[in-house]
Amino acid sequence: MIGPDKQALLEKRMAALGIAEADLVEKFILGSGSGGQKINKTSSCVYLKHEPSGLEIKCQANRSRELNRYQARRELCDKLDEIRLGKASARQQEMEKTRRQKRRRSRRSKQQSVADKRILSQKKNLRRSPGAGD
């Protein structure tokens, strides 16, 4: 379960972003997907809608309704933060970082890398004992 300190922190964050509980429409709907009969019978999926901004969040990450409520509110805060801050938001910066990491390297960069590997290989060959290469 969620501790009172985490709950208080979330409430403080929601107040800072201007999210009031009265602005939220919360519904509990039947879950779907894998998890067997239990997930299809219980209404543990949380649907949140923030009326002023029109943002809608659906959370079914856990089997517990309380955990899903907490996570949905946290996700709502993240999305509002992302909208307000734009490129400065933590989520956006994380996405940019992974995009840069996945980007293809330039031809010159690849050539330099291969050249460095060749030099290292030559150094290692010089370290071998004289009879090891036969």
Residue 16 lies in a domain: yes
Give dist(CA 7, CA 12) in Å, integer.
Answer: 9
* Judgement on whether residues 56 and 119 belong to the same structural domain of the protein: no
Residue 104 lies in a domain: yes
Ranges of the chain with pLDDT below 50: none
Reference 27, options 44, 13, 42, 11; nearest CA is 44
> Which amino acid is it at 84?
R
Residue 80 lies in a domain: yes
* Judgement on whether residues 118 and 59 belong to the same structural domain of the protein: no
The domain in which residue 107 lies consists of 99-126
Tell me how many domains the chain contains: 2
* Judgement on whether residues 59 and 118 belong to the same structural domain of the protein: no
* Judgement on whether residues 58 and 116 belong to the same structural domain of the protein: no
pLDDT at res. 133: 61
Token output for 55: 């943002």
Whole-prediction pTM: 0.66
pLDDT at res. 64: 87
Query: Do residues 35 and 63 lie in contact, with contact meaning Cβ atoms separated by under 8 Å?
Result: yes
pLDDT at res. 11: 93
Query: Do residues 73 and 61 lie in contact, with contact meaning Cβ atoms separated by under 8 Å?
Result: no
Residue 68 lies in a domain: yes
Give dist(CA 100, CA 125) in Å, integer.
Answer: 35
pLDDT at res. 34: 74
Reference 72, options 47, 54, 97, 52; nearest CA is 47
CATH code for position 17: 3.30.160.20
Residue 132 lies in a domain: no
pLDDT at res. 32: 79
Residue 131 lies in a domain: no
